Amino acid sequence: AQKITQTQPGMFVQEKEAVTLDCTYDTSDQSYGLFWYKQPSSGEMIFLIYQGSYDEQNATEGRYSLNFQKARKSANLVISASQLGDSAMYFCAMRESSSGGYQKVTFGIGTKLQVIP
């Protein structure tokens, strides 16, 4: 089964509007974490936001917020007041426990967001 599912291959949003990018996950761990990364056309991966499985409040970072619904195993990214510079690929990812002392992170296939002027 897919660990991270992003069902929206592409999304369009009008500039200054809000947009929600969907992400569902699958894990049997009690302790895990969820991330969102932005990848512009240059290819660099930019960390946006993190939510721990025990965090009761939804994470927020400026215009980004993570809508965490633990029972539904969803971790949607909400971008408020979209800007042209938000056009990029967005990846949802999950950190799980692992042996061997390393952090195991699994990425979804991404959603391409295009902001329309």
Partner 1 sequence: SQTIHQWPATLVQPVGSPLSLECTVEGTSNPNLYWYRQAAGRGLQLLFYSVGIGQISSEVPQNLSASRPQDRQFILSSKKLLLSDSGFYLCATKRSDRGTYGYTFGSGTRLTVV
Nearer to partner 1 among residue 15 and residue 44 (C-beta) = 44
Provide, rounded to whole angstroms, the least separation between the CB of residue 64 and partner 1: 14
DSSP calls for 24-80? EE----SS-EEEEEEE-TT---EEEEEEETT--SPPEETTEEEEEETTTTEEEEEE-
Residues that bind partner 1 (CB under 8 A): 4, 33, 35, 42-45, 47, 50, 52, 91, 93, 95, 100-110
Alpha carbon distance 87, 99 (integer Å): 37
Nearer to partner 1 among residue 85 and residue 100 (C-beta) = 100
Closest CA to 5 of 20, 28, 30, 22: 22
Provide, rounded to whole angstroms, the least separation between the CB of residue 10 and partner 1: 11
Nearer to partner 1 among residue 15 and residue 26 (C-beta) = 26
Provide, rounded to whole angstroms, the least separation between the CB of residue 70 and partner 1: 17
Nearer to partner 1 among residue 56 and residue 102 (C-beta) = 102
